[in-house]
Amino acid sequence: MGSDAQDDAAARRDAVLAALAASPGTRVSGGAIARDLGCSRAAVHRHVDALRADGLPIEATRSGYVLDPSADPVIPSVVMPRLSGPLAGPVTWTAEIGSTNDEAARLAREGAPEGTVVGSDHQTAGRGRRGRSWVDAPGEALMYTVILRPRVSPIEAGMLPLVIAVGLADALDEVGVPDVQIAWPNDIIASGAKVAGILCELSADQERVIWAIAGMGINVGPVPEVSSTRWTPGSLASIGPRPRRGDLLLAALTSIGRRYAAWVDHGPTAVVAAFSKRDHLAGAQVTVGTTAGEMTGVCRGIDDLGRLQVERRGEIHAVASGEVTGVNRSGT
Whether the per-residue pLDDT at 204 is higher than 80: the answer is yes
**With pLDDT > 90 as the criterion, what percentage of the chain qualifies?**
79
More confident residue, 12 or 126: 12
Instruction: Give the pairing type, strands 293-302 and 285-290.
Output: antiparallel
The band of 112, judged by pLDDT with boundaries at 50, 70 and 90, is very high
Q: Return the pLDDT at 72.
A: 94
Q: Is the pLDDT of residue 331 over 70?
A: no
Q: Which CATH architecture has domain 3-67?
A: Orthogonal Bundle (1.10)
The reported pLDDT for the residue numbered 5 is 57
pLDDT tens string 160-171: 999 999 999 999
Is it the case that residue 79 has pLDDT exceeding 70? yes
Residues of the chain with CATH 1.10.10.10: 3-67
Of 159, 135, 142, 157, nearest to 273 (Cα)?
A: 159
Which amino acid is present at 298? V
pTM score = 0.90
Q: What is the pLDDT of residues 261-291, one digit of tens each?
A: 999 999 999 999 999 999 999 999 999 988 8
What is the bridge-based pairing of β-strands 180-183 and 315-319? unpaired
Percent of the chain whose predicted confidence (pLDDT) is above 70: 93
pLDDT score for 115: 98
Predicted confidence at residue 130, as pLDDT, reads 53
Which numeric CATH code is attached to 285-328? 2.30.30.100
* Fold that domain 76-278 belongs to in CATH: BirA Bifunctional Protein; domain 2 (3.30.930)
Mean per-residue pLDDT over the chain, rounded: 91
Positions of CATH 2.30.30.100 in the chain: 285-328
pLDDT in tens, 206-249: 999 999 999 999 999 988 776 656 788 999 999 999 999 999 99
Q: What angle do CA 191, 195, 200 make, to 5 degrees?
A: 135
Residues of the chain with CATH 3.30.930.10: 76-278
Buried b (16+ CB within 10 A) or exposed e, 204-232: eeeeebebbbbbbbbbbbebeeeeeeebe
Model confidence pLDDT, tens digit, residues 172-196: 999 999 999 999 999 999 999 999 9
Give, in order, the Cα–Cα distances in Å from 227 to each of 70, 236, 259, 286. Answer: 29, 20, 33, 21
Whole-angstrom Cα distance, residue 167 to residue 270?
Answer: 11
CA–chain centroid gap for 238, Å, is 19
